[in-house]
Structure 1
């Protein structure tokens, strides 16, 4: 079955409440391809590797979390940007990208989906008064040492995380996928035993160690694989489309 591109985009924008969220990039349709969509290929980032795989898979639309046209980047269509856009335009493939709307969504969002993967029960937002802080607070069913939780993370995500072990039992957890390490202080103020993000900064170590909590950096890419898969599955069910998630490995 095929659906009009305009119908699919309008529904996805509305479902993710994308138009009302201030972001660092445009959300929604970034590159317009053919008018009808039958097959969606999803991935974390619209890299050349993903685009090449989408061409081979016969995609009509590529759905990603990390798209193009970020604030502060050069507007010139040169280098890798030219090659990526040429691939999409030559093969008449659309690019649909959602950044913060996909992080924060309560059903298919990256943070909710990661919680489900790791067995964390969501309590609520990490910083309710900051709409750009898309992190969450939650609890584990049973307290465990930080090392045991780090092993769970490794088993689920398929990569060894960076662990700063505060030598404490873990029950209350705060997390923000991707580059969310800067929210560790809000997590500490909320009384967490462990904070998890995708990345780490130099000062993250000191914040965790001096406040007596544990910290895990599990990988930007690894922590943000699940939202786009869930969104692709949702759109495929909603419109009776084909959907394939393609993993382009990234150790960061």
Structure 2
């Protein structure tokens, strides 16, 4: 077993949440009375079903990408109150990493998805308030967009990808901005990137991609963001000898 404080310190050092300006409250959002951590659960979202699953598996720590606290103060009532109550009753602490987990080059959503897509020379991409939230890389040789469609079908929480094919048919330089990353289309065009890979687009992304003559593929918001928490779980298991489990609760979005 490992002390919660040691794990939180380790995660804060790895992910540097203090460097990010984010709507999410990153770091330890809920601290339970259990300080000895033996089993860690990870998930994309801190939904009630996810917390119940973490309780059923007797996890002591739940790590998620989308947490419970966003922006200002929130009254502890309704489903929000039920989540807090269940975490505390079950002895589960909650650690959250939103933008820091998107941009981290070691275990981040973007970097892990880029490696899954066989990209090389992975570098930071797409800054938000001075911190990168995506990555860019290149393929060994030119591929068509069908290569990415096939890879998408192998992902956890896979959905039928949405493709905008307005750019080059031969793709080598690729940017990855997971979640809702279609706002990076302009930056991709400026940096002559052949393809943007993201989770879900905003409505105006179609016209913007067409106007910029850009390729884009959207793999699903949830599916694009399973990579970081799973990488974190593997890292904790190796460095702290902890049991770990990924709780899959796909949104279909």
Q: Give your verdict on TM over 0.5.
A: yes
Which residue of structure 2 aligns with residue 196 of structure 1? 197
Deviation, structure 1 residue 148: 3.3
Q: Contact conserved, 1:115 with 1:122, CA < 8 A, in 2? A: no
Q: Aligned pair in 2 of structure 1 residues 128, 20: CA closer, same or farther (>3 Å)? A: closer
**8 Å Cα contact 1:112-1:122 kept in structure 2:** no
Q: For the Cα contact (< 8 Å) 1:170–1:193, is it kept in 2?
A: yes
Match of 2:186 in 1: 185
Q: CA RMSD of the aligned region, Å?
A: 1.7
Q: Which ranges of 4 or more aligned residues in structure 1 deviate by more than 6 Å?
A: none
1:126 correspondence with 2:125: yes
- Asked if the contact 1:123–1:138 (Cα under 8 Å) also holds between the matched residues in 2, the reply is yes
SS in 1 for 2:160: coil
Taking the aligned partners of 1:129 and 1:39, their CA distance within structure 2 comes to 33
Cα distance between partner residues in 1 of 2:25 and 2:134? 21
SS of residue in 1 equivalent to 2:18: coil
Change (3 A) 1:123 1:9: closer
Q: Match of 2:97? A: 98
Aligned residues: 250
Counterpart check, 1:240 vs 2:227 = no
SS where residue 69 of structure 1 aligns?
Answer: coil
Summarize the alignment of residues 1-252 of structure 1 with structure 2, pairs less than 5 Å apart: 2-33=1-32, 34-71=34-71, 75-127=74-126, 130-157=129-156, 158-166=158-166, 168-252=169-253
- Classify the secondary structure of the residue corresponding to 1:26: coil
Deviates more, 1:158-167 or 1:235-244: 158-167
Residue pair 1:146, 1:166 contacting (<8 A) in 2 also: no
Q: Is the 8 A contact 2:113 2:176 kept in 1?
A: no
| Shift of residue 6, structure 1, vs aligned partner | 1.0
Q: Where in structure 1 are there 5+ consecutive unaligned residues?
A: none
Q: Distance in 1 between matches of 2:62 and 2:134?
A: 26
Cα 1:148–1:7 shift into 2, 3 Å: closer
Structure 2 spans left out of the alignment, 5+ residues = none
Q: Distance between the aligned counterparts of 1:127 and 1:71, measured in 2?
A: 22
Deviation of 1:144 after TM superposition, in Å, equals 1.7
